Amino acid sequence: MNFFLGLIFVFTLQYLKIEIFFKEKNTPFSGDYFYNPYKDFSPITLKANFHAHSKSGRNSINNPNEKDKVYEHYKNNGYDIISLSDYQKISEDQTSPNYIPVYEHGYNLRKSHQLVLNSQKVSFFDFSIIQTYNTRQQVINKLKLTDGLIVLAHPDLWGGYTEEDMNYLKGYDFIEVVSNYKVSANIWDAALTSGYPAWLLADDDCHDINRPSQSFNNWTRISSPSLTKEEVISAMKRGCHYGVRNLKHNETNRLDSCVVNGNEFRVYLKSRADKITFISDNGSTRKAVTDVAAASYLIAKNDSYVRVEARSGDELIYLNPVIRYNGYQLTYNTGFPLVNTTLTILFRGLILMLSMSILLLILVLNGRVVIPARSFKPVFNIRTRGEVSLG
């Protein structure tokens, strides 16, 4: 009992630093122009995986591979960019001057994790037990201070993030739409529908390269003119990349180009796809065509964005969305929400009272504090008029 109460006491202390925000909804995309992330796309792309774990990570039992073996494993199978994403630890690849450092942040029950790309400093700020919109936004705020690119990792896994959260969350850069453990297209569509221009990532989240089902299932293809870290990151920030999922490990098809002319959106693939689907607000299908290598869709006035999924056999390609905008710049919704000072103080006060109550209970159970029981003996005086009162 004491151990259990002690754990609760320690975890409640984390919430003494919580901030409660004014919830400000993102503003849906609007405008008469369309931002095409593939405007400068080249079909000569780089194959990347940003989510894999090594033995040097937090859980070496489930991650039995030395980091050099992980790099070699992916390089030998055609990957141009391989980043280790060990928990709360930044790794380096001494053989690659263009290595993009990544770590996985988070140690909470709901798997509200983040991948942090190209940061030189690890943040240990988190809330271990209860996760809400406020805790998730505050963690993003803290991670942004380390100058990294923030990816919401496997967001639909264990309810790490909710569709409701995506109406309000700000400050992140990517959503890991595809991983071994979860396809989170619903979370992505919720963010896009709200007006937040989050680009996708597709990663393995590999924990053991010796298990065939753990690697080469999901990857990101980046249209970068070179392997330099600066140009790769620049292309990713523009959304000039796409995600692929193929559990058979065979690359069946590739994107050739994406063209937007007026309100006509055309997609060209290298070879025929079984199905090309155009998807818009709230994840609704606008158009689907079968057995084609190219397809087009006239973007409707009520479409704030349009994205494409292309299926070829066992493979599914996810493209970043074409987004409605003003013709100058995307509305990034990056301004962090304001802190509600009153509610923050009240909430921290409640947490402090809870923490002190738990601590007092621990001391009482250990005999360190004795609470005297006050004797109370009620006296009844019976009056002649039949009235009974406490004396």
CB count in 10 Å sphere of residue 43: 13
CB count in 10 Å sphere of residue 124: 8
334, 324, 332, 310: which is closest to 281 by C-alpha?
324
pLDDT in tens, the chain (391 residues): 778 888 888 889 999 999 999 999 999 999 999 999 999 999 999 999 999 999 865 555 566 789 999 999 999 999 999 999 999 999 988 678 899 999 999 999 999 999 999 999 999 999 999 999 999 999 999 999 999 999 999 999 999 999 999 999 999 999 999 999 999 999 999 999 999 999 999 999 999 999 999 999 999 999 999 999 999 999 999 999 999 999 999 999 999 999 999 999 999 999 999 999 999 999 999 999 999 999 999 999 999 999 999 999 999 999 999 999 999 888 765 678 999 999 999 999 999 999 999 989 888 888 776 666 664 455 444 444 444 333 3
State the Cα–Cα distance between residues 361 and 341, nearest whole angstrom.
Answer: 30
User: For residue 372, what are the contacts with CB-CB under 8 A and spacing of at least 6?
Assistant: none
Whole-Å CA distances, 6 to 2, 9, 298, 369: 6, 5, 61, 16
20-34 b/e (C-beta count within 10 Å ≥ 16 → b)? bbeeeebeebeeeeb
Please give the model's pTM, rounded to 2 decimal places: 0.91
Residue type, 82: I
Residue type, 387: E
Strands 315-319 and 380-382: unpaired
State the Cα–Cα distance between residues 352 and 5, nearest whole angstrom.
Answer: 15
pLDDT at 377: 55
pLDDT at 237: 96
pLDDT at 143: 97
Is domain 26-328 annotated with CATH 3.20.20.140?
Answer: yes
377, 378, 197, 152: which is closest to 304 by C-alpha?
197
Contact predicate 319/297, CB 8 Å? no
CB count in 10 Å sphere of residue 173: 22
Whole-Å CA distances, 64 to 67, 153, 163, 206, 214: 9, 22, 34, 11, 13
pLDDT at 62: 63
**Domain residue ranges of the chain, discontinuous segments joined by +:** 2-7+343-390, 26-328
Is the alpha carbon torsion for 179, 185, 187, 192 positive or negative? positive
pLDDT at 374: 61
Residue type, 8: I
pLDDT at 313: 97
